[in-house]
Amino acid sequence: MSRFVERHPAWALIAIIAIAVALWLIFAVWPPGLEEAIGRKRVFLNAVFNGITLGGLYFLVASGFTLIFGLMRNVNLAHGSLYLFGGYVGYAISSATGSWLLSFIVAFILTALVGILLQVIVFRRMEGQDLRQTMVTIGLSIVFADLMLWACGGDFYQIQTPNWLIGPVELPLITAIKSSGEPVYLRYPMVRLVIFAASVVIGVAMWLALNRTRIGMIIRAGVDDRDILAATGVRIQLVFVLVFAFGAGLAGIAGVVGGTFQSLSPGEDIRFLLASLVVVIVGGMGSIPGAALGALIIGLAEQLGSVYIPTYAIVVTFLIMVLVLAIRPQGLLARR
């Protein structure tokens, strides 16, 4: 951090000012002039929270994607299909048993199994041929999409939120002051906050696992140079299978999350594939912190954009990607 400040004082200053402005916007009571100019504070805060929680969901999808890419150089364009598959499995389990938590476990296990099958049956055969692997994942995503359309139809599904998570929670953030002088606090759906907290926990756990454990060390070494790692006697195929299973499982969990706060339907696979593409392009391919930062930026941009400039929301996301590519083609937090 301090090195960044030393090397780019101007950028650091801009970043600090931006953060200060953002904090002021979130915590201060807005003066009436500002409310007239850009609308109610409640709308703004809701958009910010939606953006952050959406970022959490994007992070769940994109971190698996970026982990698989980082280690195996495999751009898994079927990742969106794994997401949707996890969502459908979660829906089936939660509607059959009524247990929300069980649906996470089953979705994780089943998508991880699909991931293992893909890695063992398909990708191991064409190791090192990036482009061919990518083409195969495109073909697989088409086949999966059609199979899921066949099995589940074109309807919208929504996973039932468990009772203990339904309803809003009051946050200690003042949205307005009533004429009687009484402050009005922000109310926000509990379930989204819980899911966001869970994705933060998963992110931190992943970071710790990657940086503090032996398997994490092996994976990091594999990201840097997998040939040398294989030469040192690590059973690299096993590591590949494990990472693929874990990345796929994360996509499955994300599917359940997405099915809870949004809905599941054909086409969502493409949407989340693209979200994870943009997130990892912005954050940097193969980097977990990059995925977190990218997910946060894209989630916020999407939600704030859809509130303040509804016609051009998607363009904002796209412009961010273009800007990052123009300034730092390897992504914001990539090392190379």
Partner 1 sequence: MSLAHDARVAIRAATVAQRPMRTWPEVNNPAAWIVAAILLIMPLIANGFFLIEIFATTLILGIMALSLMFLAGYGGMVSLMQLTIAGFSAYMVAVFGISGNANISLGWPWWLAVPMALALATAFGTLGGALAVRTEGIYTIMITLAIGAAFYYFTNQNWAIFNGHTGINTVATPHFWGVNWRADIPFYYVVLAVAALCYFAVEYLSRAPFGLALQGVRDNPRRMATLGFNVNAHRIAAYAFASFVAALAGVLQVWNYRQISPGSVSVGACIDVLIIAVVGGITRPIGPFIGALIFVLLRTFALDFLVRLGLDGNRFRLLIGLGFLAIVFWSSDGVIGLWQRWRQSQRPTAKRPGGGRGHG
Determine, following the binding rule CB under 8 A, whether residue 129 of this chain makes contact with partner 1: yes
Whichever of 146 and 170 has its CB closer to partner 1, that residue is 146
Question: Which of residues 140 and 165 has its CB atom nearest to partner 1 in the complex?
Answer: 140
Do the Cβ atoms of 58 and 80 come closer than 8 Å?
A: no
For position 310 contacting partner 1 by CB under 8 A, the verdict is yes
Candidate list 20, 96, 228, 274; residue touching partner 1; CB under 8 A? 274
Residue 321 binds partner 1 (CB under 8 A): yes
329 touches partner 1 (CB under 8 A): yes
* Contact present, 304 and 297 (Cβ < 8 Å): no
Q: Establish if 78 lies at the interface with partner 1 (CB under 8 A).
A: no
Smallest distance, partner 1 to C-beta of residue 65, A: 10
Other C-beta atoms closer than 10 Å to the C-beta of 227 total 9
Which amino acid does the sequence have at 162? P
102, 116, 117, 130: residue in contact with partner 1 (rule CB under 8 A): 130
Contact status, residue 86 vs residue 107, Cβ threshold 8 Å: yes
Number of residues that bind partner 1 (CB under 8 A): 39
Contacts of 21 (CB under 8 A, 6+ apart): none
Candidates 73, 124, 187, 220; binder of partner 1 (CB under 8 A) is 73
Q: Figure out which of the listed residues 98, 128, 168, 183 binds partner 1, where binding follows CB under 8 A.
A: 128
- Read off the amino acid at residue 33: G
Near partner 1 in 241-260, by CB under 8 A = none
Cβ distance 108 to 253 under 8 Å?
yes
**Nearer to partner 1 among residue 136 and residue 210 (C-beta):** 136
Q: Report DSSP letters for 286-319, one per residue.
A: T-HHHHHHHHHHHHHHHHHHHHH-GGGHHHHHHH
The residue among 73 and 220 lying less far from partner 1, judged by its C-beta, is 73
Q: Which is nearer to partner 1, 105 or 140 (CB)?
A: 140
- Does the footprint of partner 1 cover residue 281 (CB under 8 A)? yes
What is the C-alpha separation between 157 and 235, in angstroms, rounded? 41
Identified binder of partner 1 from the candidate list 132, 167, 168, 231, rule CB under 8 A: 132
Residue corresponding to tokens 């899911």: 195
Distances (CA, A) of 70 to 114, 217, 220, 262: 20, 14, 9, 29
Joined together, the tokens standing for residue 282 give 């912005």
- Among residues 277, 289, 308, 332, which is the contact residue for partner 1, using CB under 8 A? 277
Helices 100-117 and 236-261, interaxial angle, to 10°?
140
User: Which residues, numbered 139-198, are part of the site for partner 1 (CB under 8 A)?
Assistant: 139-140, 142-143, 145-147, 150
Residue with the two structure tokens 């190379």: 336
Residues that bind partner 1 in the complex, under the rule CB under 8 A = 73, 75, 77, 128-132, 134-136, 138-140, 142-143, 145-147, 150, 270, 274, 277-278, 281, 285, 310-315, 317-318, 321-322, 325-326, 329
